[in-house]
Structure 1
Amino acid sequence: MNIQERIIELRNELNTHNYNYYVLDNASISDFEFDLKLKELEKLEQENPIFFDANSPTQRVGGTITKNFNTIVHKNRMYSLDNSYSKEDLLDWEKRIQKILGTSELSYTCELKFDGASINLTYENGQFVKAVTRGDGFQGDEVTNNIKTILSIPLSIQKDFVSNFEMRGEIILPLDGFNKMNVERVANGEEEYRNPRNTASGSLKLQDSAEVAKRPLDCLLYQVVTSERKYKTHFESLEQARKVGFKVPDTIKLVNSIDEVFDFVNLWDAKRHDLPYETDGIVIKVNNLQHQEELGYTSKAPRWAIAYKFKAEQEATLLNEITYQVGRTGAITPVANLEPVQLAGTTVKRASLHNADQIEKLDIRVNDTVFVEKGGEIIPKIVGVDFSKRPKSSEPTVYASHCPECGTELIRTEGDAKHYCPNEFGCAPQITGRIQHFISRKAMDIDGLGGETVDLLRKEGLIQNYADLYDLTVEKVLPLERIAEKSAKNLIDGIKKSKEIPFEKVLFALGIRFVGETVAKKLAKHFKSIDNLMAADFETLISVDEIGDRIAKSIIDFSSNLTSIQLVTRLKEAGVQLSVSEESLKNQTDKLQGQIFVVSGVFHQMSRTELKKAIEDNGGKVSSSISKKTNFIVAGDNMGPSKLAKAETLGIAIISEQEFIDKIA
């Protein structure tokens, strides 16, 4: 056997032993024997650098220093999950997906929802290429070197599986390992880590991968993302992933009814405290991958999956003070400042009180003993008061009448739960908040400019609104504290590059109340320019699909405000895209105007996403379910029989992929 063959043999052996120990929990070799083989491999690789392999078992021990973690755009967006808190929520979800798919015969996978840090692993030709954190779902931080130290993650796939794919999972810190780490920290006189989830997440961003290697991190995997149509169901893809070396939890179960889903929920609600890691609920997914494709996504989450959250933990503590926060739209949020209390593994000091009605409904007062709950919300909430402990001197809460930041009298419109500060262009948090929204990733996506820098620029008098950003120069920002020449140049370059951002994102960036991402896209598509939009009257606005009275009134308020008009004018002068580009307009027609399409089945010439975009680009509307209003169904292979039957009953025209392409040609 020559040197190269011995190196390959050792690598394969060590990978197998790692898999047996860290995935199957079944050691096939002693630690001593493993170390001998690893040392032999290290020596051979050092003496023969020509055979270096980044995915060799010797590269798992860490030692690489990462000063800055590169931001990587996800090839496939990492969506959030919609949450449910009752079995009624799950029944409603099932009804919605049955209606869209036109069938009641569905199977589901039930999976434990792990409490860790989401990760996306990319493999090309069976080789591990990179690992990226979830980030904001659109892009995250590359943590490849740190992920390589987690021994349950395979670095190469030798067996038959899809070639190019992404593996989604959760980086967790098992409870035993977490407790051992804290014992060591206490012994060294250091502060204990708060909880496994934050510790796991923080570990991924350590600069020294050798330090990451010392931590007992694990990775539980739950989704294969690939364009290859090798597997028909989600469950099958995970079973195959397990066979080729991925640590897919054996708690995943395939069920054929919502009643079986409830059985799974009940089982793990009782057993979850016996698990070796933290979990806070169940994830239910439609099993058939074609059904998943048909159901698609909302702007935030897949329609084909939902999380059932276990009943939230609750603790009692003292409410010391009620303060008020001002959001970027001027909305006032009352916040309870609490005596610190441990809840769901974190120390809670503040909780949302939502609005004046909630305070009045629960009769919440300062110095009350209150019940705090942390469910699906980032900020815990108060759910009740222990009236038996209320002081006799207690006085009802009088809600704030003026803005805590600028002193302007608050307003509250009929039918609105929140109070607002109307001083939108003179109230500091609103000014900063609007600019931060303007520069955010989903809006203008300005690199080199973060919240702290925005605050600094405002305090120094360089910006008072988002149009002021385009007057900044390197010379103006260079004298500021913590701004070096390179960061100043990056900031200005980022602002210049934002002038290329398309109109629909600019419209979202303007921060018009109630105009979110989806609404901005609809308005940009319909009106084509900011001038057309701002000139539209109430009747014209509400005639646009899904634009209601509230959104229409908000747009008119924005369009008639002198400051808004001046800001838009300045953005135009700066060269920001405030109309749909000529290139985009070239691809748009009115050929399908007023027609509603349902896309169903598997396609070959265009992807489902491309089909839907083509419909919208030509003036049509895509619907997720068949109804009397549907004009056409674009049918691919394996269209569901119940959908076909419903279409025939309603007399809806069914066209093939090619017929659709001919229709818009």
Structure 2
Amino acid sequence: MAGTPLAYWADPKMDGLALEVIYENGAFVRAATRGDGSVGEDVTANMRTVMNLPLRLRGNDVPSLLEVRGEVVMKNREFQELNRRQEEAGEKVFANPRNAAAGSIRQLDPKVAASRPLRFMAYGVGRVQWASPLMAWTTQHEIMERLGGMGFEIPPQTRLCASRKEVAEHYRLLMETRDSLPFEIDGVVAKVDSLEMQRALGFTSRAPRWALALKFPARQEYTVLEEIRIQVGRTGVLTPVAELRPVRLAGVEVSRATLHNKGYIAEHDFREGDTVLIQRAGDVIPQVLSVDLEKRLEHSVEFAFPDSCPVCGSEAREDGEAVRCTNSACPAKTVQRIIHFVSKAGLDMEGVGRTWVKKLAENGVLNTPADLFTLTKADLLKYERMGDKSAEKFIASVERARETAPFWRLIAGLGIRHVGEQTARILASAYVDLDALGMATREELQDLDDVGPIVAESIHGFFGMPETQELLARFREAGFWPVGGAEEPAPSAESPLSGKVFIFTGTLPDMSRSDAHKLVEERGGTAVKSISKKVDYVVAGENAGSKIAKAEKLGLTVIGFDAFMDMVRQGE
């Protein structure tokens, strides 16, 4: 192989849901999502309904076992037609084809998947077993040709490239013509064509050495920053939010984006009325990048970050990069705490919408999470837009939480600063109930895994507040008192990130470290800053540095940023 010119197979990088379909003796038997790379979700029943997936392979010379890897996608035109039908039926419209495809495949009822215009696009294989070794494929382009012959649809605009220069030319061509393709793509994947060379190159802990994902730059657009609004979170942090003139970006209408903090505004000198450049970081989070100074209004003024809470008027003090409201009884904190309590990061009360929580809190009906357990259907039906079914669903969701919520969800739902899902699980396995947890000393807490002095101080301080003790008493009166101990349930499999611990190292493309941490925590995972054996995934950006070497010594799983974003998308 030495001195042999390398050929490359170049695929468009499809923006869909990654899947593997399995065939035994030519018959389709199973399908699963990629999950976390080791364990996926069984979606066999739904994949049987996908219009272009062969249930039996064509031809006689097929492997006895064949694992085909690919993406479930929707054509752009068919996606638009689906959204038109959804809108006419008064149902939810989808943000983009990828979300529509992923949501359809994860439906419990295969009839829903069957009603959607889904397609499976094959791009490679996993395990292959032949009756004779002489039948085995030798190149990537042979694999793709044979998959096409067996009945699989392969991505458009694939190409066998004789050199790296041809790969670069194909990348530029697809980047220029991506909008004319029938499917969404977000880059090109180049693979060494020779399977013998692929085996020789092998894998790193993050990815195969014989393949390279060449992502397109994030789509960017200019729009007008119409207003900078300050939101107050459950811990009192004042977060500036850009209210934008709505603009379509990467298949989604963007009308707002976080401006992070006081320092970010000052650094970029964002002003109301500015024309700003925006993008979706990782094609997920809207991000305001910069100002077009040539289009700045003549009489624009610098934004003055408030030194008092815009909701309650109390003093706001700087706390590191954040600015916080000092009033523990701030109404905005109350609303956000209850919203957090019912959210997926807390009790996961699916029938209790944040809009109604906000309305009930603003009307003084909900002042603490405990008030949820005293609400009646009659209380809800007093509101004009609350229908009978919605009220029943709301109350049923609260009752389900009262009866079945695990102790760790209650701890996570309390919104204790620095306590996410992973720490909540650890606390729930160590203490039998909130009384026991509240009596724990700082030293006892620090004896637990993942609980350092800052977290221990936060927990101890939370349970020392009179309002916390009053809340606990209300929970007990309402008959809501989950217990913990060693029998805490395993992490939920709803998201590949759920229950996992992540650490980020190096420079992340198109995303700040704090945004990456937020993505993890919103999906039930934990993001940490120091490396240890407790870390499940080390996400490596550019110039990752010494943490990679330490991760390899500890035997940790190291993945690239693209693989991390794939995990994020699979949970949507």
1:465 counterpart = 2:365: no
1:368 counterpart = 2:274: yes
The change in CA–CA distance for 1:339 and 1:477 in structure 2 (over 3 A counts) is: closer
1:564 counterpart = 2:464: no
The change in CA–CA distance for 1:535 and 1:320 in structure 2 (over 3 A counts) is: same
In the TM superposition, residue 357 of structure 1 has moved relative to its aligned partner by: 0.4
Match of 2:341 among 438, 442, 453: 438
The whole-number CA distance in structure 2 between the counterparts of 1:211 and 1:493 is 24
Q: 1:577 is aligned with what amino acid?
A: P
Unaligned residue ranges in structure 1 (runs of 5+): 1-107, 186-192, 297-304, 586-619, 634-665
1:93-120 residue CA offsets vs partner (Å, 9 max, x unmatched): xxxxxxxxxxxxxxx999754335x387
Aligned residue pairs total 455
Match of 2:449 among 527, 536, 545: 545
3-state DSSP of counterpart to 1:380: strand
Counterpart of 2:314 in structure 1 is 408
Match of 1:320 among 226, 230, 236: 226
1:459-512 residue CA offsets vs partner (Å, 9 max, x unmatched): 554432222222234454455553426852773365245432322222212211
Alignment of 1:65-144 (within 5 A): 112-116=12-16, 118=17
3-state DSSP of counterpart to 2:266: helix
Alignment of 1:354-365 (within 5 A): 354-365=260-271
The whole-number CA distance in structure 2 between the counterparts of 1:442 and 1:168 is 31
Alignment of 1:142-541 (within 5 A): 150-155=50-55, 169-174=71-76, 197=97, 218-220=119-121, 245-247=151-153, 249=155, 268=171, 271-275=174-178, 276=181, 277-281=183-187, 309-376=215-282, 378-413=284-319, 415=320, 417-428=321-332, 430-459=333-362, 461-480=364-383, 481-484=385-388, 488=392, 491-492=395-396, 494-527=398-431, 529-541=433-445
Counterpart of 2:482 in structure 1 is 577
Unaligned residue ranges in structure 2 (runs of 5+): 1-7, 86-92, 130-135, 192-197, 491-531, 537-547, 556-572
3-state DSSP of counterpart to 2:323: coil
| Conservation of the 8 A alpha-carbon contact between 1:161 and 1:241 | no
In the TM superposition, residue 406 of structure 1 has moved relative to its aligned partner by: 3.2
More helix by share: 1
How much is the aligned-residue C-alpha RMSD, in angstroms? 5.8
In the TM superposition, residue 150 of structure 1 has moved relative to its aligned partner by: 4.8
| Conservation of the 8 A alpha-carbon contact between 1:171 and 1:201 | yes
The change in CA–CA distance for 1:485 and 1:338 in structure 2 (over 3 A counts) is: closer
Q: Which moved more, 1:239-248 or 1:557-566?
A: 239-248
| Conservation of the 8 A alpha-carbon contact between 1:328 and 1:433 | yes
| Conservation of the 8 A alpha-carbon contact between 1:512 and 1:554 | yes
In the TM superposition, residue 358 of structure 1 has moved relative to its aligned partner by: 0.8
TM-score under structure 2 length normalisation: 0.60
**Kindly, what percent of the aligned residue pairs are identical?**
29
| Conservation of the 8 A alpha-carbon contact between 2:370 and 2:475 | yes
The whole-number CA distance in structure 2 between the counterparts of 1:380 and 1:547 is 33
3-state DSSP of counterpart to 1:464: coil
1:280-320 residue CA offsets vs partner (Å, 9 max, x unmatched): 246899x99xx99x979xxxxxxxx9987532233333333
In the TM superposition, residue 555 of structure 1 has moved relative to its aligned partner by: 1.7
In the TM superposition, residue 359 of structure 1 has moved relative to its aligned partner by: 0.9
The change in CA–CA distance for 1:468 and 1:387 in structure 2 (over 3 A counts) is: same
3-state DSSP of counterpart to 1:411: strand
In the TM superposition, residue 623 of structure 1 has moved relative to its aligned partner by: 7.1
Counterpart of 2:567 in structure 1 is none
| Conservation of the 8 A alpha-carbon contact between 1:173 and 1:200 | no
The change in CA–CA distance for 1:361 and 1:132 in structure 2 (over 3 A counts) is: same
Q: 2:53 is aligned with what amino acid?
A: I
The change in CA–CA distance for 1:455 and 1:153 in structure 2 (over 3 A counts) is: farther
More strand by share: 2
TM-score under structure 1 length normalisation: 0.53
3-state DSSP of counterpart to 2:322: coil
Structure with larger Rg: 1
The whole-number CA distance in structure 2 between the counterparts of 1:156 and 1:495 is 47
The change in CA–CA distance for 1:314 and 1:441 in structure 2 (over 3 A counts) is: closer
Counterpart of 1:61 in structure 2 is none
3-state DSSP of counterpart to 1:412: strand
The change in CA–CA distance for 1:543 and 1:409 in structure 2 (over 3 A counts) is: same
3-state DSSP of counterpart to 1:406: coil
The whole-number CA distance in structure 2 between the counterparts of 1:250 and 1:387 is 41
| Conservation of the 8 A alpha-carbon contact between 1:514 and 1:551 | yes
The change in CA–CA distance for 1:202 and 1:243 in structure 2 (over 3 A counts) is: closer
| Conservation of the 8 A alpha-carbon contact between 1:111 and 1:282 | yes
In the TM superposition, residue 541 of structure 1 has moved relative to its aligned partner by: 3.5
1:510-567 residue CA offsets vs partner (Å, 9 max, x unmatched): 2112211122223333455433433334444344333334323322331222212222
